[in-house]
Amino acid sequence: MSTLSRSDVAHLARLARIDMTDPELDSLASELDVILEAVARVQEVATDDILPTSHPLPLRNVARPDVVTPSLSPKDALSGAPASEDQRFRVPQILGEEA
């Protein structure tokens, strides 16, 4: 029985911004079926009366005084950029054709 079709995986790949090939989608679909069947076991014990845990520690918000401290220079911050221009990250076109 197949839970995930190739088009399901293609949809997930689009959501995850990965341009997968058809052979990749096919093999992933069958692998994910096996994995999902195994991990679905969590549903056997996850009853309504159990509270979920998202984190091992009780999380609280952490704040500090708003004091200016040394930080990366623009040069360092841009040092790993695939492309930069005028102290900014240069990125491909984000919106449609020129407005």
Instruction: Identify the helix (H) or strand (E) that includes residue 85.
Output: strand 84-85
Query: Where in 69-88 is the site for another protein (CB under 8 A)?
Result: 72, 76-77, 79-83
Query: Binding to another protein (CB under 8 A): which residues in 12-71?
Result: 12-13, 15-21, 24, 28, 31-32, 34-36, 38-47, 50-57, 59, 62, 64
Q: Does 93 bind another protein (CB under 8 A)?
A: yes
Query: What burial class does residue 9 get, using C-beta atoms within 10 Å of its C-beta: 0-12 exposed, 13-18 middle, 19+ buried?
Result: buried
Packing angle, helices 22-39 and 6-15, rounded to 10 = 90
Give, as one character, the DSSP assignment of residue 40: G
Binding stretches for another protein (CB under 8 A): 4, 9, 12-13, 15-21, 24, 28, 31-32, 34-36, 38-47, 50-57, 59, 62, 64, 72, 76-77, 79-83, 89, 91-94
